[in-house]
Amino acid sequence: MASIPDLATCKKIGFIVPSSNTAVEPITNAIFQSLPHGTDIIPLFTRIGVKTVGTDASSTSQFSADTMVAAAQLLADAECSAILWNGTSGMWVGTGLEADRQLAKAMSDATGIPCSTTTLATIEALTKLGKLKLSIAVPYDEPLALKVGGFYAEIADYDFHVCGVARQEPTPASNLEIAKTSLRDVEKVVMRAAKMPHVQVVMPACTNWPAALITESVEAGTSAIVVDSIVVTVWQGLRMAGCDAVLPGWGKMSTLI
């Protein structure tokens, strides 16, 4: 039987998950199970309604600050040490990095708990790595893929250079279908992005795409470091909760402290 930390004393990290996402919880649980023996910390989850992924108003409206704050308050009931929005919407809803900073602050103000997002976690990891030449891999259609690439190219506070964006074709028909992409097909897209000229970091930018599971094989076949959305969110949450454990088996980025 798998061992779990002492539920009476362990720390908890809360993750807000899109309702149509089927990748975050199993992959996050697998990452936590890979932590060194004796790491006294567990993940908890709550969901918000997300049925579509797109740039139209009906899609972007799913990610309102009020919705996120209400979800964070549910996780606060469990006395989490940190709470994170486990989604990449900040990269493509068109409101910019400052909107994610304001969202994290609103959630923290409402709960009294440190809060963050996948987007902010990604920026933190890139800053620590000191790698500025990026490529991006996504399972999205062309307009959404261009939004993600443009987000990093246009951040005023950082000198990121986006070498290119690789997207999955044909595009999965829905968010549910994104998680059903075969690992072979995910790896093809991520590898294509990683092999673009001058790339130092490749970013699979979607928390419903199981790219975390092919991180090490991509790194073994290229010179790029993989910053996967699910892995980087866990990495950030652990540090926010005061845990500096590395994540064995999840790529070079996850060993940053």
Q: Using one digit for the tens of pLDDT, what is the confidence trace for 100-110?
A: 999 999 999 99
- Could you list the residue range(s) of the whole structural domain that residue 178 is in? 11-255
Please tell me the distance from the alpha carbon of residue 237 to that of residue 225, in angstroms, as a whole number.
20
SS3 142: helix
- Which tens digit of pLDDT belongs to each residue from 219-237? 999 999 999 999 999 999 9
Asked whether residue 173 is domain-assigned, the answer is: yes
- Would you put residue 164 in left (φ > 0), alpha (ψ -120 to 50) or beta? left
Asked whether residue 174 is domain-assigned, the answer is: yes
CATH code of 249's domain: 3.40.50.12500
Confidence (pLDDT) at 120:
96
Q: State the pLDDT confidence band at 59, using cuts at 50, 70 and 90.
A: low
Structurally, the chain folds into a number of domains equal to 1
User: Strand pairing partners for 12?
Assistant: 42
pTM, two decimal places: 0.93
Q: In the numeric block, which tokens belong to residue 117?
A: 């997002």
User: Strand pairing partners for 18?
Assistant: 48
Q: Calculate helix-pair angle for 118-129, 97-111, nearest 10 degrees.
A: 120
Asked whether residue 140 is domain-assigned, the answer is: yes
Asked whether residue 28 is domain-assigned, the answer is: yes
Asked whether residue 3 is domain-assigned, the answer is: no
Asked whether residue 40 is domain-assigned, the answer is: yes
| The dihedral formed by the CA atoms of 218, 220, 222 and 224, expressed in degrees to the nearest 10 | 70
- Which tens digit of pLDDT belongs to each residue from 99-147? 899 999 999 999 999 999 999 999 999 999 998 899 999 999 999 999 9
